[in-house]
Amino acid sequence: MIKSSTLWCRSAVLSMCVMIGAGCNLSDMGPSAHRSPDQYFAVLALEHHAINLSMVAPYDTVTLHTIRAMGDGSEVPGEVTYSVSNPGISITDGVLKAESPVARAVLRVTLTHGTITRTDSAIVSVIATAPDHLRDFGLRVPASDSAKTATDVPKVIPLLRASESGATLSTLLVAMASSDSAMASLTQSGDAVVVTARRPGRVVLVTSTFAFGAVWRDSLVFTVGWPLMFNAPTAERFRTGSVTRVMDFVYGDFTIGVGGCVLWYNDNDSIDIDLQFEDPSHVGPPGGSVCPQLYQINDPDVGGNIAPFRYIPWDGDDAHYFTSFFSRYRARVFSAPGVYPYRSTIHGTTGVVRVCDERADTTCAPVRLGGWD
């Protein structure tokens, strides 16, 4: 399905360029109607993207293999060019050899076919002594935790690199990748991996290494849930067809995770707005680290419907500053999944809060991003 939609988009762009008679100066975009698969250089990839060598034979060499494929799967003809950033590592006839200890170097591979040049790279290290071989490797979530976080909330996952002697091989180089970096990306920080969550969905996180003659790989299915904190501003507008001013909800329909906090705010100091929920039974007051009571400093224990409120300008008295500043905010925590319609009885404007339980409900996965299974 992804390939089909991609081809459709590329064809549409090309058609548009033809219709407007413009030379779009398109860069190479992959297999498309203007280049048959057997003529398209699709992939150049190294077999390993993190390589660990030793000065002690036989762990001082590795034969490099590359995947080089046309769009139809056939092998790309031509000579692969290798280079490395440190003279402590040599390359001869596709064989990588350790010449001296190196903490970190970059190996690059390049191949040109026709007008298309592709490259790939790997990181390489060389230790001076005989290796302490790996015993266990991968991304390990503690039993008390879960492979899940909310959108925009970073998650730290331990990176296991345990040797046969019981030591942690903290200098062992590893490669990491996400099946969808637009959804979640990875960054190594010492003996941990930081997952940066960008949008809801599920991804596969992969880590791998070539460590002294052995290949190690591990993968983890990771869930990026809906946000647990959502800012919901209001704005003044004119009612359609009239000069009557009303307050409206900027985001009329949005989704959060179970237990999430919604912070409505009204910066207008002359017009009130209120919120009346069709079912306020699971709409609670602010509380906890996600939704501090400070957001609702005047009525911290009040949940459910929100009475009319507006911003109260500061009168210059220091004792009134915080009351003035936080007067614009009202917060609610949604403790159960479901759909929560609401309206302002003052203005007739409406909105909807959708609360998703990603573990139990596959229907609230985002459109076009696939299911949660």
The domain spans of the chain are 1-35, 42-127, 134-225, 229-357
Q: What is the mean pLDDT of residues 286-296?
A: 84
* β 50-54/116-127 pair status: parallel
Ranges of beta strands (E only) in 114-252 are: 116-127, 134-139, 148-150, 155-163, 175-178, 184-189, 192-197, 201-211, 214-225, 229-238, 245-249
**Predicted local distance difference test score (pLDDT) of residue 38:** 85
Q: Encode pLDDT of 246-275 as tens digits.
A: 999 999 999 999 999 999 999 999 999 999
β-partners of residue 178 are 205
**Predicted local distance difference test score (pLDDT) of residue 9:** 36
Q: What is the mean pLDDT of residues 74-102?
A: 96
Arithmetic mean of pLDDT over the chain? 88
CA 336 to chain centre: 25
Residue environment code for 143-169, b if the CB has 16+ CB neighbours within 10 A, otherwise e: eeeeebbbbeeebebebbbebeeeeeb
pLDDT band at 371 (very low <50, low <70, confident <90, very high): low
134-225 and 229-357 share one fold: yes
Percent helix / strand / coil, the chain, rounded to 5? 10, 45, 45
Which homologous superfamily is 42-127 in?
A: Immunoglobulins (2.60.40.10)
pLDDT band at 32 (very low <50, low <70, confident <90, very high): low
User: What CATH code would you report for 134-225?
Assistant: 2.60.40.1080
pLDDT band at 360 (very low <50, low <70, confident <90, very high): confident
Q: Encode pLDDT of 176-204 as tens digits.
A: 999 999 999 999 999 999 999 998 888 99
Q: Encode pLDDT of 197-210 as tens digits.
A: 998 888 999 999 99
Residues in Cβ contact with 139 at an 8 Å cutoff, skipping those fewer than 6 apart: 157, 158, 159, 160, 193, 205, 207, 218, 219, 220
**Predicted local distance difference test score (pLDDT) of residue 372:** 55
Give dist(CA 370, CA 352) in Å, integer.
23
**Predicted local distance difference test score (pLDDT) of residue 250:** 97
Q: What is the mean pLDDT of residues 303-326?
A: 94
Q: What pTM did the predictor assign? A: 0.76
Q: What is the mean pLDDT of residues 28-41?
A: 69
β-partners of residue 208 are 175, 217
- Whether domain 229-357 has CATH 2.60.40.420: the reply is yes
β-partners of residue 234 are 249
Residue 268: enclosing H or E segment and its boundaries? Answer: none
pLDDT band at 3 (very low <50, low <70, confident <90, very high): very low
Residue whose structure tokens are 């939704």:
291
